[in-house]
Structures are given as C-alpha cells and as structure tokens.
Structure 1
Amino acid sequence: MRDRIAASDPGLLRLASGLRTVASIVLTLVVLVLFGASVPHLVAGAMASMVSNFAVRERERRAQAVTLALGLPVALACVCLAALLHDRVVAGDLFFVALIFLAVYGRRFGDRGTALGLFGFQLYFVSLFVGVTVEDLGVLCAVVTTAVVCSAVVRFALVPQAPTGVLERLREAFRARFAQLVAAQLELLDAGPADADRALANVREGNARLHETALLIQGRLEEGTGDEHTARLLQRRVADAEIAAERLGLLLLTARSAERTDTLTLHLPGAPVPEAGRLPVRDRGVEALRRDLRALRVLVRRPGGAGLAQVRNRLLSYREEENLPAAAPPVQDVFRGVGEAARAVLGLRIALDGPQDESDDTPSTARSREELDAEDAAIDAAEETPVEEPTGLRRPTTRAAVQVAVGSSMAIVGGELLSSHRWYWAVLTCWIVFVNTSSTGEILVKGYRRLLGTVLGVVAGIVLAGAVGHHTWTAFALVLLFVFLMFYVAPLSYTLMSFFVTAALGLLYTLLHTYSLSVLVLRIGETALGAACGVFAAAVVLPVATDRRTNDLLVDVLDRLREVTTTAVDQLSGGPPVELLDQARELDQALADLRSATKPLTHPVTPLRARRDTARYVVALLETSAYHARSLAATAELLPTHPSIAADPRLRGAGRRIATNIEAIAAHLADDRAEARVQTGPSIASLLEPQLPGSPRYGRVTDRVLRHLQRLDESVMGLARPLEVPVGKEEKARAG
C-alpha cells in the first residue's frame, strides 16, 4: 500500500499541498472565530489563507519565509486600495488592469516575483468578492494578517516540507514506479494476442511515469542534497536506472517478435505489438526469465533482507557471457538487460542508502561494485552556461502581461454588462487561462476545460446548496474537502480542479447568504466571457500561434539532441571526457516542454485528426531519439572508468551523418527556404566495416553503440517526412 501511494503521488507533493492548505484554513478560521469574526470575514480569511499557500513556490524554507514576509505588505496594500477605490468605478477598474499587468510581468523575476503578483491580484479579488469598504478596512487587514501568519505556522511547524524529506519521498516513488514498470514488463512477456496491446500500453505508461519521477528528482537535487558531488551522483544513478528499465522493455518486446522491434513502438501511442512470432510458453529459458523478472521486481522494491544477496548475485552474473542461460539469442539479450537493470539497481541502492554489506558478493558482483566506484570517483561538477533571453515584447512574460491586460480590460467591460456586482469572475477566468500557457492553442484548451469544470461545478453547487441549507459548519467542512481535492487533483486534471472550485464557490455563496440559481448561472456566463476574452487577446495581441510555439520548441529539442549525440559519439571515438549529465537533462526538459506545448494539437476533441496523428508521431520519434541519445551518453560516461570499454575512432564518422541531418531538419523548421537536405546513405553499421580483409569487426560494446546509432539515424530520418524536409542521397560516406 505504501508503494502504491508513493507511486501515485511522487514525493507526496499533492497530498502535502492539499493538507497544508486545509490545515492553514482551519487554523485561520479557529483564530477568527475566537475573536468573533463575522461570516464574510471568515470567508475572506479562508481565501487569503489559501492564496498564502499556493502563491509561495520556492523550495527552500528560508526563501519561503522571505516571500511570505514580503507578500503580506503587498496583500495589505492591495486590500487598502480596493477599499479606497470601492466607490470609484473607473479608477478601480484602471488600477485592477494595471495590477494584472504588473502581476504577470513579475513572473520574469522568478518564483518570488510570481508569488508577489499572485498576492496582489488574488487579495484584490478577495476584497471585491467580500465587498470591502473603508469602514471594514481595519478588520479585513487584521483578517489577512491572521491568514498569512497562520499559513506560515502551518508551513513551517505543523506540515513542514523540508527539501531533503521531499527528495527522500521522491526516491521512494522512483523505486515504486520502477517496480511497477518491471511488473508491467512481466505482464507483457506472458500476454496473449488478446491482451498484448493492453500490456504494451501499460509498459508505455510505466515508462512515462518513471521518466516523470526522474525529472522531479532532477529538479529537487540542488536543494535536497548536501553537496554538488552527491547531487550529480544521484542524478547519474537515476538516469542509469531509467535507461536500463526502458532498454529491458525494448528487449522483451523484441524477444516476442521474430525480428528486432523498432524502439518507436515503445513511444508511439496506439502502435500495435509486433505479431510475428511469440515466446514458447514451456521453454526452460523463458521460465528462467519469468523467475528473474519477478526477482528483479523484488530487488527494486526491497532495500534488503534474507535471500536478496543471492538473487542480486545471480542477476548481476548475466552481465558476463559465460553465465547466460541456454536460450534463443533474443531471450539471451533479455537476460543481459536484466543484468544491466540489476547493476542499475545496485548503483541506485548505493547512492541512496550508502555502503552495502559485501560479505556475500560473488566475483561478478564485486566487479560491478568496482565499476560503480570508479564511475563515482570520476564525477565532476560542470559549469553552467548562461542562456541569452529575449528582450522587450519578445520576452514571454512581457508579451503575456500585455495580452492579459488587454483581455482583462475586455472582460471588465463585458462583465459589467452581464452584472455590475459579479463582473470580476470574468476577469479571474481571463487571468487564469494565461497562467502556465504560452500559445493561443494552450489558452483555448485551458479556457474550454475551465468552462466545462465550471458548468459541472454549478450543477454540483445547486445540489449541495439545497442539501446543506444554512448549516454553516457543514458547509465549511464541505468547502475544506473541496479545497483539499482541488489542490490534490490540480496537477492531474484542470477540469476537475475547476469543478471543485465552483462547487466550493456555491457553498461560499450560501454562507454569505447570496446564493441563488441565477448567481451560479451568471458564474457560467462570466466564465465563458472571461475565457473568450483571454482567447481573443491571445489570438490578436502579440499572438504566439501553436505552430510557431511548437516549431520553436522542436528546434530547441533538435539542438539539444544534436549536442548530446555529437558529444557522446566524440567521447566514444576517443575524444576528451565531457560531462554529459547536464546535456541529457536539458534534452529531457526540452522534450517535456514540447510535449506540453503539443497538447492542444493532440487533444481528443480536436477536429484536425491528421494533424493530431502527425504531432503524436513526431513526439514519439523524438522520444525514441532521446532514449538512444541518453543511452549513448550513458555508455560514453563509462568509457574513462571501464578498462573493458575501448574507444573506437570509426564511430566519429558514423555519427557525423546523424548530426548533419539533425541540423538540416532544424534549419528547415527555422526557415522554410533553407536549402539543406536530409542525407540518406549506407547503414550506420556498414560505415564501420574494416578496410582490411580478415581484420576484427568490432566488439560487443561497439555493437551496442552501433545499434543505438542506427536507431537514432532511422528516427531522425523518420522526422523528415512528417516535417516535410527534402531528402537526398549522401554524396560520399566516410568513416572518418
């Protein structure tokens, strides 16, 4: 059960966020009730407490405290201005638009700028919601101060979230998801024709969930570890485990087929399981493979215990040819993959839990430990290269600030026409659809989801308001439940989050004695208006089309892919050692950004089916390419510390065509008139054929590198057709 919880909510980040918000609201309400606050002030305190929780995004406790300390005067200033401008409609609206612009523009200053902008906008909105006047100003300022202080007490004392603790829970989640992926791979091994597609879909989902956790860990290493060396060690071990797990799935898929399976099958949603051939059910080698996959899953899940040393030793022995069980060659490849996965688990265990008991080590296990120790000693900190950012209106935060200011102005005018008392809901929706979005398509999808969640929430609000009536504490309890669920599901579903927000809102209106069916229907109208204003502003004012946004991100992914591939191949060819961890991490982050930006194109309700399929295919090809590039980088990192792995100068020529083709595709995406062509030619393996008859071809490590290069070459070539890049014959193939 613990593993399931850890895997479903990595780091317990969503659970902690929901509990912290609810606890701070409860503490705020208790304090305010003790001082005899009225219901409107209780509502204002609850909303201010909620803002104090979700606005602060820093990971270090000291930085969080500074942001809260700065956020309080910003919040009080906005409350005071809302009260002073209560009867000055035009001045109030102009200030609100200016505040919205500054709040969005503040994102350029990082998490603290974003937090202060949220404090300002949300507390001004809360003041409008409760209708603050100059007479109520003193009490409301005391309520806001109480809410911020209670939020700080909960954050730092009652529900603390230290960076080291978060990283520890994320590591447990990685183990749990690794074990779940091995279980899915075991299911794929035994799946019949009727269940094969579902089993493969589970493996794909397991790979994606493991990769998601790896990215979360990488984002927390700096704050959660004590020094740079430890952070880079853990980063390498997590990357090794992820690559080994994905490679094991690919080898299993290949073993089911009569011929080698394309890696794209693991990344393209809906791609069918290869039907040619199936593993014999009663084969002794396959039975041993089932046993060892179960053993690997136990080895991942359990930190220690009786019998695990023998299991570990057996699995690690498969890294040596003489220890492989008698089986068909594809099945033997899977045993090799099991051995590499066991080595990755051992390295992860040492990095996470420190030195292990070595009394039961076999010679194979001892050699694996020596390899890991040599790699650990070779880890050095890499210097970060500053990235040049755009300026002026080309800066994303400046452009978004102008867009949301224009959209909010339209929302104010339209909202006033719908209701002179509830117009601010349109402004809130317009503001929210711009949060964490970068293109018109993303804003359109977010607006649609918010409207859908609002409609469903209004229905729930009508039912609950009738059932709860005027039972104040029952309504507050339900509001707290909805607030918890809102924060818990926010990273998973924006529609569900909007549903819980609106349902809670219906109960708040009941508490304020302003509930009516017309109010909730008006909420739908204001939401639709705000979403429409946001989409219109994004499409007309300094627009960033989804195609342009995805093209820019696609070029970034290709640049990162070329950088990782070129550096890894150069090192494998005998070049100087280079730190590849950061380059691989930047590739993963660029690919994650692209995947997020293509969601409007791949949305299930999109009418452009062909475009949706193309976007999915391109992303799958890039994910396949990134997997092979990470694998090349991982092998290159072993080169300086493993005497059994020797550099092969011929690889440099084999990787040259890949880099050239990546550059050609990026050039066409940046400029349709570019003349560069994707070059085809002999297979990558043929470029390494010996020039003298009878001379050795290449060893097993070079063979593995060649397989990754060949798959990478095929994936890059596959990008040319959907991206409409011209293809030409290679004039001359050289090994270099």
Structure 2
Amino acid sequence: MLKRVFTAPDPGRTRLRFAARAVLGIGLAVVACGLAGHALPGVVTGGLAALLALFTVADASVRGQAVTTALLPAVGLPVLTAAAVLHDHPVARDLGFLAVIGAGVYARRWGPRGHSLGVFAFMMFFVAQFLHATAGQLPELYASLALSLSAAAVVRFGAWCYERRTPPAPVPAPPGGRGLARVTTRQAVQATAGAGLALVLGQLVSGQRWYWAVGATWWIFVNTASRGETLVRGFRRVLGTVIGIGLGLLVAVPLHGAPALTAALVAVSVFGIFYTAAVSYTWMMLWVTLLAELLYGLLGVLTPGLLALRLAETGVGALGAALAVLFVLPVTTHTITDAWIQRALRRVHACTAEAAARLAGDPAADPAGRAAELEQLLGRVRLAVAPLVHPLNPMLGRKRRARRVLALLDACARESRGLAAVAADPEASHDARLAAACWRVQAAVEALTDGESAAAAPVERPPVTEPALAHLHGLEHALAELAQPLRTPSGSPLVGA
C-alpha cells in the first residue's frame, strides 16, 4: 500500500499540483477568516468550505467548475441554517439530516455538479454538529463561508488555474436507468437507510459524537455504486481510521493544540488528503483522521478516549453502510463492473476513430482527448473491480480473471496514448494498412460491447516500423485477448450476479 502511494504515476504532476493548490487555497481562506476577526468555529467552517470547493468540484470545463463553485452557497447556506436552528430539537434535526443525505445522494444523477452540491450540503449539516452551531452564530458562519469560497475561487480560477493549460477529462457519470433501476436512486435509498441505522446506533454509543457514525456511512457511499465497492470502501475507511488514530496518538495528542505546530501539521494533512485521494482511500482516510484530531486539539477536547470513540463510531457507520448495501435494493458488482468496462471499450473505439481521422488529415480530430477520457474511465473500472481483486476475496478464479481484464485494459490505454501521440505528429501519414487496422480495432470493440460470446482470436502480425501501425496491432491483440476473461466459453460474465 505504501509503495503504491509513492510509485503511482502522476502524469503532468497533476496530483502534486492538485495538493499544493489545495494547501494554498485553504490557507488563504483560513487567513482571510482570521483577519476578519472570526472566532475558531467560523475559521474551521471557512477552511472546510474551501477544502470542499477545491476537492469535490470536478466539472469537465473551467467554466463549469466556476458555475458549480458559485452554486455551493445556494445549497450550503440553507442547510447550515436548518442544522443550526434545529440543533436543540433532536427528532427534527435527525429527520432533517436524513433528508439531506437522501437528496445529496440522489443529486448524483446529474453528474459531477450534482455530486459536488450534494457533498457540500451534507458537510454543512455535518459541520454544524461538529461545532455545535447555534442560530446566534449564523451571521459569522455565513461570512466565513463567503470569504473562504471567494479565496478558494481566487486561487483556483485566478492565481493557479492549471486547467486552462491542460483541460481535464470529463469525470465519468454513473450509469443511467429509470426509477429504481437507476443506481443513484437505489443508492439514495440505501444511504438514507444506512445513515438512519448509523444515527440510532451512534447515539447509543455517544450522545455527543453520534454524527461521526453518520459521516462514516455517507463517505463510504461517495464514489461507489455496487455492494462490492461499498463493502471494500468501508473496510478501507476503518483501516485508514485505525492507522490515523495511531498516528494521532503519537503526533496530535502530545501537541495539546499548540497553534503553530498544529497549523503546520494541518497543512501537511490537507496536502496528504489531496495527494493520496486518487491513489488510496486508506491513505486518504489516514490524513482525514489526523486532520480531525488536530482540529479537536485546537478546540481543546482531544484525548485518547475521544480517539477510541471515533473508532467505535466509524465502525458503526461502516456497519450501517454494509447492511444497507446488502439488504436494501442491492446493486450487484457485476452490473456496475460490466457497465464501466463497456464504456471504457467504447472509448477505445472513439480514440481509434479520432486517430484515424487525424491521420487522414482532419485537424479537428482529437485522439488525445479521447485517450485522456479513457484514463478517467479506467480509474472508475479499477474502483468497480476492486472487490474482485481484494486480498480477502475467496473466489480465486474470478480474481485472476479480473486482474487479467485490468492488465489488458491498461494495455489498451497504453496503446491508445501512443496512437494519439503519433497521430498528433504532422509528419504522420495515412495509408491503407492503417485504415484496415483501425477498422479491425473498431470491429473488435463492437464484438465485445455487443455481447457476442466470442471475438477473433489474437493474430500474430509481422513486426512493423510505422509507430501508428504498431500501436494499432497492440490494440488488436489486447482486445482479442479480452474476450476470454470477460466471458467464459459458456458465455458467463466476468462476475456473478
């Protein structure tokens, strides 16, 4: 796990820039709130708002990101107000929290913007519980929110807008459907049920920190779609929390909230959250846990007993999520895995078609953009397949097949990147062999995505010197080999129902 974090590829140092910009944006937000004379609850609220704005907003274009950022207060302020007003009315507060959770998950059907707004709404309710916010504190919290989101926007869209130079690939939206067939609808019901159970059990464990259990359930559902993904994510959340608590006992507790050292470690934690998020959920949770511990240190309430309570509440939240995905409108791993693999294969088709058009002289064709989209989709495929390749999965045959599929899809991505790079060369030319190879690749993708039980066997072709043709031959071979692990001779899918 440690090796994976530090050796994972970071093309264009995107993760490094993402993390460094987050530290700058959140730091600026906290300084702005401090200079405005806001009390610690306002500073914490502002810092969290900036973190969410920089972390969750993931629209495909800079313009889209700016619009989503501008919309955050429209959902955050009403939710923050409701949470503060209902603070002394437990039943209404709990029902309101569950309503926000259901609506926040359901909003994911509208893609990255719905996801971002849903997360922001949930966290505004959560931070009100974390700070025990009351109606009298709302004016200062509103000001902190406005200052912090403005500071984050200045950094993201002004001082450090690297997306203008390197447009990000669109974040894949979840699979569609209608009614209860739609994954986001089923997840909204699951998350509400799981959070309801976590809320009840969490209050039995602690009447003061019950919201930790609800928060654990919520974040376990984020960026998951199937029961397998959710169960694996729950395991990783608990593991990351355990490691983070151990680190907190060594680092955060002895500090006793010392401002300067705590501020430095908060910056390190923020960097760690953003840098590891795309690579390891366990590591991200380690940094999230340490950040929470440091904030409790600033509030003067951090003790070993509080850390033990956090672990217990996290376990309750993971249990709520697990029971919900197992028994409330379960979404099978196969359903989600197949959907994402199909989309990745179609992106291979699109990349090949764009490359062929570019080689034929069409300057508007963009194979590089399609290759970047394929990379994004493969990240989502890895998440979907994670339950199958997990060390605790006892089904060794399916584990081997899943690993083979991932290796061949990685080969497709590698060859697609190479093809896109060659097609971008103005000296590259198109000939009949390239056209025929492109057609064969597209036919192989169609055979796999149309549900045919078999595809053409791999054909060993003579070595070629033309780079474009070599990449196309590599794609042909990888796609032909994919037919076997994706479907057994009897036609069964990669994973069972």
TM-score with structure 2 length normalisation?
0.79
- Against the structure 1 CA distance between its residues 64 and 597, is the aligned structure 2 distance closer, same or farther, given a 3 Å change threshold? closer
- C-alpha contact 1:553 1:594 (8 A) present in aligned 2: yes
- Against the structure 1 CA distance between its residues 219 and 44, is the aligned structure 2 distance closer, same or farther, given a 3 Å change threshold? closer
- Which amino acid in structure 2 is aligned with residue 724 of structure 1? T
Deviation readout 1:701-734 (Å, 9 max, x if unpaired): 899969966983686257336731259xxxxxxx
* Distance in 1, Cα, partners of 2:269 & 2:446: 50
Which residue in 1 is equivalent to 2:39? Answer: 38
Which residue in 1 is equivalent to 2:302? Answer: 515
Deviates more, 1:503-512 or 1:617-626: 617-626
After superposition, residues 134-283 of structure 1 pair within 5 angstroms as 134-157=135-158, 159-165=159-165, 167=166, 219=169
Cα drift, residue 45 of structure 1: 3.2
Which residue in 1 is equivalent to 2:432? Answer: 647
Q: Which of 391, 399, 421 is residue 178 of structure 2 equivalent to?
A: 391
- C-alpha contact 1:125 1:424 (8 A) present in aligned 2: yes
Residue 124 (str. 1) matches residue 125 (str. 2): yes
- C-alpha contact 1:661 1:717 (8 A) present in aligned 2: no
Which residue in 2 is equivalent to 1:546? Answer: 333
Query: Aligned to 2:488, what secondary structure does the other structure show?
Result: coil
Deviates more, 1:711-720 or 1:42-51: 711-720
* Distance in 1, Cα, partners of 2:270 & 2:93: 29
Query: Aligned to 1:455, what secondary structure does the other structure show?
Result: helix
* Distance in 1, Cα, partners of 2:52 & 2:366: 40
* Distance in 2, Cα, partners of 1:632 & 1:143: 49
Q: Which of 170, 195, 205 is residue 418 of structure 1 equivalent to?
A: 205
- C-alpha contact 2:199 2:211 (8 A) present in aligned 1: yes
Cα drift, residue 425 of structure 1: 0.8
- Against the structure 1 CA distance between its residues 555 and 519, is the aligned structure 2 distance closer, same or farther, given a 3 Å change threshold? same
- Which amino acid in structure 2 is aligned with residue 723 of structure 1? R
Cα drift, residue 144 of structure 1: 2.6
Which residue in 1 is equivalent to 2:3? Answer: none
After superposition, residues 301-312 of structure 1 pair within 5 angstroms as none
Residue 93 (str. 1) matches residue 94 (str. 2): yes
Which residue in 1 is equivalent to 2:58? Answer: 57
Deviation readout 1:106-125 (Å, 9 max, x if unpaired): 22333333232222111111
* Distance in 1, Cα, partners of 2:357 & 2:27: 59
- C-alpha contact 2:454 2:483 (8 A) present in aligned 1: no
* Distance in 1, Cα, partners of 2:147 & 2:366: 49
Q: Which of 476, 481, 487 is residue 712 of structure 1 equivalent to?
A: 476
Residue 529 (str. 1) matches residue 293 (str. 2): no
- Against the structure 1 CA distance between its residues 725 and 414, is the aligned structure 2 distance closer, same or farther, given a 3 Å change threshold? same
Which residue in 1 is equivalent to 2:224? Answer: 437
- C-alpha contact 2:169 2:373 (8 A) present in aligned 1: no
Cα drift, residue 625 of structure 1: 5.7
* Distance in 2, Cα, partners of 1:135 & 1:471: 28
- Which amino acid in structure 1 is aligned with residue 316 of structure 2? L
- Against the structure 1 CA distance between its residues 478 and 712, is the aligned structure 2 distance closer, same or farther, given a 3 Å change threshold? closer
Which residue in 1 is equivalent to 2:283? Answer: 496
After superposition, residues 360-379 of structure 1 pair within 5 angstroms as none
Question: Which runs of 5 or more structure 2 residues have no equivalent in the other structure?
Answer: 1-5, 492-497
* Distance in 1, Cα, partners of 2:266 & 2:467: 61
After superposition, residues 455-470 of structure 1 pair within 5 angstroms as 455-470=242-257
Residue 473 (str. 1) matches residue 260 (str. 2): yes
- C-alpha contact 1:569 1:632 (8 A) present in aligned 2: no
- C-alpha contact 1:85 1:91 (8 A) present in aligned 2: yes
Query: Aligned to 1:542, what secondary structure does the other structure show?
Result: coil
* Distance in 2, Cα, partners of 1:600 & 1:702: 40
Residue 607 (str. 1) matches residue 394 (str. 2): yes
Higher relative contact order (CA 8 A, sep 6+): 2
Which residue in 2 is equivalent to 1:326? Answer: none
* Distance in 2, Cα, partners of 1:714 & 1:34: 58
- Against the structure 1 CA distance between its residues 613 and 21, is the aligned structure 2 distance closer, same or farther, given a 3 Å change threshold? same
Deviation readout 1:466-487 (Å, 9 max, x if unpaired): 4212423332332232222222
- C-alpha contact 2:276 2:283 (8 A) present in aligned 1: yes
- Against the structure 1 CA distance between its residues 548 and 463, is the aligned structure 2 distance closer, same or farther, given a 3 Å change threshold? same
Question: Which runs of 5 or more structure 1 residues have no equivalent in the other structure?
Answer: 168-216, 221-386, 686-697, 728-736
After superposition, residues 680-699 of structure 1 pair within 5 angstroms as none
* Distance in 2, Cα, partners of 1:149 & 1:703: 48
* Distance in 2, Cα, partners of 1:699 & 1:515: 65
* Distance in 1, Cα, partners of 2:364 & 2:140: 61
- Against the structure 1 CA distance between its residues 513 and 392, is the aligned structure 2 distance closer, same or farther, given a 3 Å change threshold? same
Query: Aligned to 2:432, what secondary structure does the other structure show?
Result: coil
Cα drift, residue 70 of structure 1: 2.5
Deviation readout 1:671-704 (Å, 9 max, x if unpaired): xxx8x555779x687xxxxxxxxxxxx9978999
Query: Aligned to 2:251, what secondary structure does the other structure show?
Result: helix
* Distance in 2, Cα, partners of 1:416 & 1:42: 27
Which residue in 2 is equivalent to 1:104? Answer: 105
Query: Aligned to 1:598, what secondary structure does the other structure show?
Result: helix
Deviation readout 1:228-269 (Å, 9 max, x if unpaired): xxxxxxxxxxxxxxxxxxxxxxxxxxxxxxxxxxxxxxxxxx
* Distance in 2, Cα, partners of 1:21 & 1:711: 38
Which residue in 2 is equivalent to 1:334? Answer: none
- C-alpha contact 2:411 2:478 (8 A) present in aligned 1: no
Query: Aligned to 2:177, what secondary structure does the other structure show?
Result: coil
Deviates more, 1:563-572 or 1:455-464: 563-572
Query: Aligned to 2:275, what secondary structure does the other structure show?
Result: helix
* Distance in 2, Cα, partners of 1:412 & 1:637: 55
- Against the structure 1 CA distance between its residues 590 and 562, is the aligned structure 2 distance closer, same or farther, given a 3 Å change threshold? same
- Which amino acid in structure 1 is aligned with residue 489 of structure 2? V
* Distance in 1, Cα, partners of 2:73 & 2:186: 28
Which residue in 1 is equivalent to 2:75? Answer: 74
- Which amino acid in structure 1 is aligned with residue 212 of structure 2? W
Report percent identity of matched pairs. Answer: 36
- C-alpha contact 1:100 1:121 (8 A) present in aligned 2: yes
Which residue in 1 is equivalent to 2:488? Answer: 724
Question: What's the C-alpha RMSD, in Å, of the aligned pairs?
Answer: 4.4
Which residue in 2 is equivalent to 1:598? Answer: 385
- C-alpha contact 1:101 1:402 (8 A) present in aligned 2: yes
- Against the structure 1 CA distance between its residues 546 and 139, is the aligned structure 2 distance closer, same or farther, given a 3 Å change threshold? same
* Distance in 2, Cα, partners of 1:27 & 1:628: 42
- C-alpha contact 2:455 2:483 (8 A) present in aligned 1: no
- Which amino acid in structure 1 is aligned with residue 396 of structure 2? R
- Against the structure 1 CA distance between its residues 633 and 26, is the aligned structure 2 distance closer, same or farther, given a 3 Å change threshold? closer
Deviation readout 1:472-525 (Å, 9 max, x if unpaired): 333233223222222222222221221111112222212212222221111011
Query: Aligned to 1:219, what secondary structure does the other structure show?
Result: coil
Cα drift, residue 529 of structure 1: 1.4
Instruction: Say which one has the larger Rg.
Output: 1
Cα drift, residue 632 of structure 1: 8.5
Deviation readout 1:372-399 (Å, 9 max, x if unpaired): xxxxxxxxxxxxxxx9953323333323
- Against the structure 1 CA distance between its residues 118 and 562, is the aligned structure 2 distance closer, same or farther, given a 3 Å change threshold? closer
Deviates more, 1:106-115 or 1:422-431: 106-115
* Distance in 1, Cα, partners of 2:474 & 2:63: 49
User: In the comparison of the two structures, how many residue pairs are matched?
Assistant: 480
* Distance in 2, Cα, partners of 1:536 & 1:415: 15
- Against the structure 1 CA distance between its residues 472 and 545, is the aligned structure 2 distance closer, same or farther, given a 3 Å change threshold? same
Deviation readout 1:424-460 (Å, 9 max, x if unpaired): 1111111111111222222122211111111111122
Cα drift, residue 636 of structure 1: 9.9
Deviates more, 1:91-100 or 1:621-630: 621-630
- Against the structure 1 CA distance between its residues 625 and 506, is the aligned structure 2 distance closer, same or farther, given a 3 Å change threshold? closer
* Distance in 2, Cα, partners of 1:702 & 1:160: 40
